[in-house]
């Protein structure tokens, strides 16, 4: 069913800003993990090698100095860049350049804070652009850094429609022409909780719709700004489908779509929105690209209602499939702060729940989902896929030691890291007794190793 454009979707639409730089096409640096989730479609399928292709001895590196680490990005030459100081609200957002072999710090730069009033420290993101520069978003500011020296070469303050105290930017994506697209996130007035805890403790009632901002990477000038139809909690996603770039937004109960046309976004009057949340389910995280479809999972905030996963056809929003992958229980919460991972080449989706385990779902574009395999490996972190099509390897944390209370997940909880054969779930390798990674990224590099951030004990790198 077609629906009309949402009134007021676009605000303050402008054309290309005077003096905006021309830049060559290209989104991210040519590296397996130049971006936190593989690409702007957020599949978490990385162009990294099969970690078991080499028979070399296992390797491990550890740098305990990086507190409050969110993600690590890789440059074309293999250098790693980490965004830390953005979890827990106690530290200052910082970008560090790390030696890929042993994670030693080559340079470290505390990022210049936004104007007085910005108080909410939330995980943004760091990424390496195709132009070779490093970009980090944090609080209400975007910074560009020289990858060789860490010099902050430019910053820009972003719109704060919910006020500086209660607005943050939870990441960004880079579009195929190099333009940076960012989106604001909001917490209620008077909420003092930092990071993701703000939503668990304070909810999102009464906040302003999210701002959408296009930024030229060369001049770091805003070339277009608009407003989403509502608060968009999950991170933004872009897909390339039938020659067109689409931007997907996960609202409270609906998935919205916009069309990217040059230096502006326009509401897609031919598509959606599509409902993906029902009853006592809570809103989801990011939309994920999946070939001819996009997917969304709900329950990013704990609830007693089982989570569901919805696939929506990019060509026709009236074609959708929904599945509840985990059987209903009465004795625990349903919760997954991270999104699913997808592999369109194998028509396979991988997802998990914090207290229900890890599951692989096969997908038939005409019939929907069926279970391929399931294991008792609960996780709250992002699921990573690497390796060639016929030898995918799945990497996920094991949060079996998480407390029964979904709001707990204490700093001192211990987790594992597990490699599995993605085709049948067979366990290939395991490392136990690691610090908490719950809700964080797992980043592969070009060597087949995986970077494992932790809440309080810095960053590790493991190669099985």
> pLDDT tens digits for 180-207?
999 999 988 888 888 777 777 777 777 8
More reliable by pLDDT, 56 or 1: 56
Phi/psi zone of residue 119: left (φ > 0), alpha (ψ -120 to 50 degrees), beta? alpha
3-state secondary structure of 198: helix
Residues 6+ apart with CB under 8 A from 55: none
The Cα–Cα gap between 176 and 240 comes to 9
**Residue percentage of the chain with pLDDT more than 90:** 71
Which of the two residues, 363 and 7, has the higher pLDDT score?
A: 363
Distance (Å, rounded) from C-alpha 14 to C-alpha 131? 25
Over residues 44-65, the mean pLDDT reads 92
Run of H or E including 199 = helix 197-202
Q: How many CB atoms lie within 10 A of CB 313?
A: 16
pLDDT at 18 over 60: no
Q: What is the per-residue pLDDT for 25?
A: 67
Contact 453, 440 (CB under 8 A): yes
Q: Tell me if residue 344 falls in helix, strand or coil.
A: helix
Digit-coded pLDDT (tens) for 235-253: 999 999 999 999 999 999 9
Residue, of 18 and 124, whose pLDDT is higher: 124
pLDDT, residue 23, reads 47
Tokens of 70: 């969110």
How many residues are recorded in the chain?
464
Q: pLDDT value at position 196?
A: 72
Which token pair is 301?
């905030």
pLDDT of residue 376: 93
Question: Per the structure block, which two tokens stand in for 413?
Answer: 């909880």
Kindly list the distances between the CA atom of residue 165 and the CA atoms of 139, 204, 227, 353, in Å, as whole numbers in the listed order.
10, 14, 19, 32
Give the model's pLDDT for residue 421.
98
165: its two tokens: 């105290």
Q: Report pLDDT for 188.
A: 86
**Whether the predicted pLDDT of 9 surpasses 60:** no
3-state SS class at 362: strand
pLDDT at 22: 45
| Cis preceding linkage at 426, omega within 30 | no
pLDDT of 284 above 60: yes
pLDDT of the residue at 245: 97
Place of tokens 């959408």: 212
Nearest alpha carbon to residue 376 among 425, 307, 306: 425
- Tokens 């403790």 correspond to 201
pLDDT (0 to 100) of residue 459: 95
Four-residue CA torsion sign, 230, 236, 239, 243: positive
The helix (H) or strand (E) run that includes residue 32 is none
Give yes or no for residue 142 having a pLDDT over 80.
yes
Label residue 405 by pLDDT band (50, 70, 90).
low
- And the tokens for 186? 């909001």
**pLDDT (mean) for 372-385:** 94
Say yes or no to pLDDT of 59 above 70. yes
Cα–Cα distance for residue pair 406/124, rounded to 1 Å:
23
Residues 210, 212: Cα–Cα separation, whole Å? 7
Please classify residue 330 by burial: count the beta carbons closer than 10 Å to its beta carbon, then call 0-12 exposed, 13-18 middle and 19+ buried.
Answer: exposed
pLDDT band at residue 382 using 50, 70 and 90 as cut-offs: very high
Tell how many helices (H) and how many strands (E) occur in the chain.
1, 33
Confidence of residue 2 (pLDDT cuts 50, 70, 90): very low
Least confident of 341-350, 352-361, 385-394, 395-404: 395-404
**Given a cut of 60, is residue 440 above it in pLDDT?**
yes
Q: Is the dihedral of CA 253, 257, 258, 260 positive or negative?
A: positive
Confidence band, pLDDT 50/70/90 cuts, at residue 21 = very low
How much is the pLDDT for 318? 97
Query: The CATH number of 59-463 is which of 3.40.630.30, 3.40.50.300, 2.40.50.140, 2.130.10.10?
Result: 2.130.10.10
Average pLDDT, the chain: 89
Task: Give me the pLDDT at residue 337, please.
Answer: 87
Q: Which two tokens stand for residue 124?
A: 């943004």
Share of the chain above pLDDT 70, in %: 91
Q: Which residue has the higher pLDDT, 411 or 310?
A: 310
Confidence of residue 89 (pLDDT cuts 50, 70, 90): low
- Mean pLDDT calculated for residue range 394-398: 96
- Alpha-carbon distance of 79 to 106, in angstroms, equals 10
pLDDT at 16: 35
- Please state, in angstroms and rounded to a whole number, the distance separating the CA atoms of residues 436 and 457: 8
- Give the model confidence (pLDDT) of 315-328 as tens digits: 999 999 999 999 87
67 closest CA partner among 89, 90, 84, 81: 84
So what's the pLDDT on residue 19? Answer: 36
Residue 12 pLDDT greater than 50, yes or no: no
* DSSP percent split of the chain into helix, strand, coil, nearest 5: 5, 40, 60
> What is the longest distance spanned by two Cα atoms in the chain?
59
User: Is 414 in contact with 399 (CB distance < 8 Å)?
Assistant: no
**Greater model confidence, 339 or 400:** 339
The predicted structure's pLDDT at residue 412: 63
Give the pLDDT of residue 170: 93
Q: What is the pLDDT of residue 149?
A: 98
d(CA 288, CA 238): 9
Q: How many CB atoms lie within 10 A of CB 332?
A: 15
Which sequence spans correspond to the domains of the chain? 59-463
Average pLDDT score over residue span 364-388: 95
């Amino acid at each position: 069913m077609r629906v009309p454009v949402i009134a007021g979707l676009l605000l303050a639409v402008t054309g290309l800003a005077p003096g905006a730089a021309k830049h060559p096409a290209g989104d991210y640096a040519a590296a397996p993990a130049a971006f936190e989730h593989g690409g702007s479609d957020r599949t978490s399928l990385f162009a990294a090698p099969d970690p078991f292709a080499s028979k070399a001895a296992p390797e491990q590196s550890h740098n305990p100095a990086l507190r409050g680490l969110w993600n690590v990005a890789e440059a074309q030459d293999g250098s790693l860049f980490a965004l830390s100081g953005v979890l827990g609200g106690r530290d200052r957002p910082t970008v560090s350049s790390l030696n890929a072999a042993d994670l030693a710090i080559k340079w470290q730069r505390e990022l210049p804070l936004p104007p007085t009033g910005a108080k909410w420290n939330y995980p943004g993101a760091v990424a390496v652009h195709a132009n070779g520069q490093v970009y980090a978003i944090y609080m209400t500011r975007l910074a560009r850094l020289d990858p060789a020296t860490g010099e902050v070469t430019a910053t820009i303050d972003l719109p704060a429609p919910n006020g500086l105290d209660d607005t943050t930017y939870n990441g960004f994506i880079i579009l195929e022409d190099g333009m940076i697209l960012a989106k604001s996130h909001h917490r209620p007035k008077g909420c003092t909780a930092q990071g993701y805890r703000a939503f668990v403790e304070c909810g999102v009632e009464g906040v302003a719709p999210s701002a959408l901002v296009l930024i030229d990477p060369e001049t770091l000038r805003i070339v277009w700004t608009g407003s989403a139809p509502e608060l968009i909690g999950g991170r933004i996603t872009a897909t390339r489908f039938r020659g067109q770039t689409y931007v997907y937004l996960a609202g409270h109960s609906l998935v919205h779509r916009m069309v990217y046309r040059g230096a502006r976004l326009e509401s897609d009057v031919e598509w959606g929105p599509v409902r993906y949340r029902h009853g006592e389910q809570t809103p989801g995280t990011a939309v994920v690209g999946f070939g001819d479809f996009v997917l969304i999972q709900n329950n990013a905030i704990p609830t007693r209602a089982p989570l569901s996963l919805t696939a929506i056809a990019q060509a026709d929003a009236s074609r959708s499939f929904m599945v509840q992958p985990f059987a209903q229980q009465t004795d625990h919460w349903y919760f997954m702060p991270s999104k699913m991972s997808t592999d369109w080449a194998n028509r396979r989706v991988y997802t998990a729940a914090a207290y229900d385990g890890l599951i692989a779902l096969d997908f038939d574009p005409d019939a929907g989902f069926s279970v391929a395999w399931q294991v008792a490996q609960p996780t709250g972190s992002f699921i990573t896929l690497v390796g060639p099509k016929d030898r995918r390897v799945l990497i996920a944390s094991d949060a079996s030691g998480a407390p029964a209370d979904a709001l707990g997940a204490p700093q001192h909880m211990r987790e594992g890291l597990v490699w599995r054969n993605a085709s049948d779930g067979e366990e290939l390798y395991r490392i136990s007794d690691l610090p908490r990674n719950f809700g964080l990224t797992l980043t592969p590099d070009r060597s087949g190793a995986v970077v494992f951030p932790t809440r309080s004990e810095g960053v590790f790198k493991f190669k099985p």
